[in-house]
């Protein structure tokens, strides 16, 4: 924000100092939506510089009130959905060592993300914060979040089935009729083990167990099981 502040408040050191301090307030938001917010912020600072009666506390208020909904929608759409889909598609190629994987990953994520950044800064600077307040009231935000979570969750569901592997080679039956346990479970439902693992992990995470411990736990359990069964 410093170039904007420098340009707008050149002749008014007191306003400049206050504007700079506002710029350093705590912000937590999805990176791709930062330009969006900066556009609104720049427009408000301009108003502040030109209008003597403008109460500059409104800038802080609007910034803070937008932070929540914007970060919410941004995290679920961009970090939660777009990135997952990009990674899901790319990992399929990359597992075979194809260079197409990383390239697709960057393209699928960045093309929409850059468009959001560009138009975020541009449209918000021109139209101001009115739009976002209206969108929030009319329920558009909710709908967009809902849509993003549907696409994201379906991709996650698909990846549970395709990217988790656990072959239970333990044989059941004798002689010729011995078959790995996995085959029996697949007869009940394909990828049942994967779904079961997901269910257990989901439940454990709900118990506020830290992911680091979960990770270490899985590694240790696997090593112990392998040590016992001499796999």
Partner 1 sequence: MVQIILIFIVAMIGYLGYFWPIANVQRPLVMGMLTGLVLGDIQTGIIVGASLELVFLGSMAIGASNPPDMNSAAILGCSYVITTGAAVAQGVAIGVLVSMLMQIVWNFIMAVLVPMLGAKADKYAEEGNTAAIDRIHVISGLLETVPLAVLTTIGFYVGSEVMEGLIDKIPSFITSGLNYAMGIIPVIGFAMLARMIMDKKTACFLFLGFILVAYFNINIIGVTAIACILVAILLFNGNQVQVVKGEATGHNEF
Site for partner 1 in 160-199 (CB under 8 A): 160-167, 189-191, 194-195, 197-198
Interface stretch with partner 1, choices 11-19, 46-54, 58-66, 128-136 (CB under 8 A): 11-19
According to the binding rule CB under 8 A, does residue 11 interact with partner 1?
Answer: no
Task: Tell me the closest approach of the beta carbon of residue 175 to partner 1, in angstroms.
Answer: 26
Exactly one of 57, 58, 98, 138 binds partner 1 (CB under 8 A); which one? 98
Binding mask 109-128 for partner 1 (x = CB under 8 A): xx--xx--------------
Residue 169, φ and ψ in degrees, nearest 5? -85, -5
Exactly one of 57, 58, 64, 146 binds partner 1 (CB under 8 A); which one? 146
According to the binding rule CB under 8 A, does residue 149 interact with partner 1?
Answer: yes
* Other Cβ atoms closer than 10 A to 54: 16
CA torsion through residues 25, 30, 31, 35, sign: negative
* C-alpha–C-alpha distance, residues 5 and 59, integer Å: 13
Binding residues among 44-73 for partner 1 as defined by CB under 8 A: none
# residues near partner 1 by CB under 8 A:
93
Binding residues among 77-96 for partner 1 as defined by CB under 8 A: 79-81, 83-92, 94-96
According to the binding rule CB under 8 A, does residue 155 interact with partner 1?
Answer: yes
Task: Tell me the closest approach of the beta carbon of residue 26 to partner 1, in angstroms.
Answer: 8
Rounded to a whole number of angstroms, the CA Rg of the chain reads 26
Contact 63, 37 (CB under 8 A): yes
Interface stretch with partner 1, choices 55-63, 124-132, 143-151, 174-182 (CB under 8 A): 143-151
Distance of CA 223 to the CA centre of its chain: 32
Choice between 47 and 144, CB closer to partner 1? 144
Choice between 20 and 141, CB closer to partner 1? 20
C-alpha torsion 148→149→150→152, nearest 10:
90
Task: Tell me the closest approach of the beta carbon of residue 121 to partner 1, in angstroms.
Answer: 13
Task: Tell me the closest approach of the beta carbon of residue 54 to partner 1, in angstroms.
Answer: 19
Choose among 114, 106, 112: nearest CA to 34: 114
* C-alpha–C-alpha distance, residues 168 and 183, integer Å: 9
């Amino acid at each position: 924000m410093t170039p904007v502040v420098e340009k707008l408040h050149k002749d008014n050191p007191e306003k400049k100092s206050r504007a700079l301090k506002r710029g350093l307030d705590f912000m937590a938001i999805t990176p791709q939506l930062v330009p969006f917010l900066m556009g609104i912020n720049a427009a408000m600072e301009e108003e502040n510089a030109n209008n003597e009666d403008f109460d500059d506390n409104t800038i802080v208020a609007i910034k803070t009130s937008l932070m929540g909904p914007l970060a919410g929608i941004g995290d679920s759409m961009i970090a939660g959905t777009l990135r997952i889909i990009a990674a899901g598609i790319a990992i399929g190629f990359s597992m075979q060592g194809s260079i197409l994987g990383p390239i697709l990953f960057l393209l699928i994520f960045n093309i929409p993300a850059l468009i959001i950044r560009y138009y975020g800064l541009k449209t918000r600077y021109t139209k101001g914060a009115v739009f976002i307040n209206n969108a929030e009231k009319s329920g558009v935000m909710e709908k967009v979040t809902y849509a993003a979570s549907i696409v994201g969750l379906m991709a996650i569901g698909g990846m549970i089935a395709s990217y988790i592997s656990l072959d239970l080679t333990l044989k059941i039956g004798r002689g010729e009729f011995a078959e790995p346990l996995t085959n029996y479970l697949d007869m009940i439902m394909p990828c049942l083990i994967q779904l079961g693992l997901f269910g257990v992990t989901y439940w454990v995470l709900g118990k506020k167990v830290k992911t680091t411990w979960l990770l270490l736990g899985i590694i240790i359990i696997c090593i112990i099981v392998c040590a016992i069964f001499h796999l």
